[in-house]
Amino acid sequence: MSKKYLIWDLPLRIFHWLFALTIAGSWYTSEHSSDFIEYHMLLGYFALGLLVFRISWGLVGPKHARFSQFIPSFKTLINYLTCIKQNKKHYSPGHNPLGALMVILMIVLITLQAVSGLFINDDVFSSGPYYGSIAPEIEKIMSFLHHNLFDIMIVSIILHLSAITYYWKIKKENLILPMITGKKNVNEINESDAISSSRIPLAISIVIAAIFFVYWLVILNAPIIEEFY
């Protein structure tokens, strides 16, 4: 059996699969919003917590989780595109430069989607915790974003899945297994690019801080809006 090196830390892998499930659940509950709006909002808070974790992890997490490690410069991107054009192999132990841009796009879009949800209502009984607390014009923008960004998000998720299928079927590189086990084969990466640990204690501290932050945001800090019947 060939030797394998750890590339994706455990917290990042747990984040990824929870994130995918949460977004799928948010979509499903929004499609049946009259029955599931409460669950939709709970999933939205969970997505916010995951995003707070991932953004913090992108600053202090292990090597391949860090934004500074994978956000590509223009030169790296061009170099990568040239390799693809010439059908040459590009060495990317973590996210490849194009994949990295897609990762950032998905994180930004989903952050905007979840944050805008805090300010809107469903015209029936349910409102985000900050509905009614901002100027009506800004509320309209939030509602516009929440109702329209999702389509762009779907496109980016489809591109994400297509890229993974392309790597699997055409380039014969399975990216899914490393996102489950965390490990890549010795012939795919250099030993110096392996990470030595998943930094679990640090991840647990960030998870606790993220839970407190979301609790503060949606419960403690949410304004109490007077309702008139």
Per CB under 6 A, residues contacting ligand HEM are 12, 15-16, 19-20, 23-24, 26-27, 30, 33, 37, 40-41, 44-45, 47, 54, 65, 95, 99, 103, 106-107, 110, 113-114, 117-118, 120-123, 126, 128, 146-147, 150, 157, 160-161, 164, 175-176, 179
Kindly tell me which of 99 and 182 has the beta carbon lying closer to ligand HEM.
99
Smallest separation, CB 103 to ligand HEM (Å) = 4
SS (H, E, C) 50-100: HHHHHHHHHHHCCHHHCHHHHCCCHHHHHHHHHHHHCCCCCCCCCCCHHHH
Kindly tell me which of 157 and 207 has the beta carbon lying closer to ligand HEM.
157
Smallest separation, CB 32 to ligand HEM (Å) = 10
CB contact set of 87 (below 8 Å; sequence gap of 6+): none
Contact between 183 and 5 (Cβ < 8 Å) = yes
Smallest separation, CB 17 to ligand HEM (Å) = 8
Smallest separation, CB 196 to ligand HEM (Å) = 18
Smallest separation, CB 114 to ligand HEM (Å) = 4
Q: Which pairs count as long-range contacts for 94-101, CB under 8 Å and 24+ apart, including other chains?
A: 94/7, 94/8, 94/63, 94/64, 94/69, 94/70, 94/193, 95/64, 95/70, 97/72, 98/163, 99/163, 100/70, 100/71, 100/72, 101/72, 101/77
Kindly tell me which of 141 and 175 has the beta carbon lying closer to ligand HEM.
175
What secondary structure letter does DSSP report for 216?
I
Kindly tell me which of 176 and 208 has the beta carbon lying closer to ligand HEM.
176
Kindly tell me which of 72 and 117 has the beta carbon lying closer to ligand HEM.
117
